[in-house]
Chains A and B, each alone.
Chain A
């Protein structure tokens, strides 16, 4: 099956700092999504981004499918950004099956 690797595994920031989270995947994909799991356990879909760049407020994401990676940018981080960020991919022929990375645990300190 496809391998999904996220880096860094842990990240600690001061409020107001910017950060970049990376997701590498081992095969061609037709679906890539970023999720945020907040400290209460809720999983929120941030982006559906199999290719290209999207922005939503302070968050943006870029996927370079030909080079098999995606980046999630968080600007001017806030304490509410804390939690685990997951990348998930669906490779061609996997029939709606999303494979998740192990996540990046982000802690934003006030």
Chain B
């Protein structure tokens, strides 16, 4: 199936741990993104990569580090997790301007 897929779907971890979320798209898109959706459903962009180059880096703590090994993959690594990092993280991709989202990763920090 052609899609944006991200793993894991659920992630429960303790404060202080380091975790990663992986994202892959097989749509042939050249731009990939990470969005965060908070408990009030508000969606906000975190990062964007175009052909492996970082083009958007919003005011996100340095504990969050995206990595794009190739234009089909964009992973998100989070160090020293905090309670406030609990949210749903969405990966997305686009070719041109229409955005396609993955199914999200629900991160719960206890």
A32 shortest CB reach to chain B, Å:
9
Assign chain B's interface to a size class: 20 to 34
List CB contacts (< 8 Å) of B31-87 with chain A: 31, 40-45, 48, 50, 55-56
**How many CB-defined contacts (below 8 Å) exist between A and B?**
51
A96 to B31 Cα, complex, angstroms: 9
CB contact under 8 A between A33 and B98, given known A95-B56, A97-B45, A102-B42 = yes
Residues of chain B within 8 A (CB-CB) of A69 are none
Question: In chain B, what residue has the closest Cβ to A37?
Answer: B41
- Residue numbers of B with Cβ under 8 A of A are 31, 40-45, 48, 50, 55-56, 88, 90, 94, 97-101, 103-104, 106
Q: What 8 pairs across the A-B complex have the smallest Cβ distances?
A: A43-B101, A100-B43, A48-B98, A31-B97, A41-B104, A97-B56, A42-B103, A96-B48
